[in-house]
Amino acid sequence: MPVTKTAKRALRVAKRKAAVNSIARSRLEIAVRKARKSKKAADVVSASSLADRAAKSGLIHKNRASRIKSSLAKLK
């Protein structure tokens, strides 16, 4: 357990960020799964957009976002 005041604050912040990142990562995975299953253009575009946003915020690496987008583009 954290002892100092700043360590306690850092733990609170880390928990909050982990919760937000978990939700965003889940949304991305669900969108990619949906796009691969339906193969609709709208689903593919929204999943690609989510991948770009996740990479921009540092949630996933930019090369992973590129791989996701590339595999989705092959579905069309």
The total of other beta-carbon atoms located within 10 Å of residue 19's CB is 10
Which residues lie closer than 8 Å to 28 by C-beta, 6 or more apart? 47, 50, 51, 54, 59, 60
- What is the per-residue pLDDT across 62-75, written as a single tens digit (0 to 9) for each? 999 999 999 999 98
Mean pLDDT calculated for residue range 39-50? 96
pTM flag (> 0.85): yes
Buried b (16+ CB within 10 A) or exposed e, 38-72: eeeeebbeebbebbeebbeeebbeeeebeebbeeb
- The domains found in the chain, sorted by start residue, are 5-73 (1.20.58)
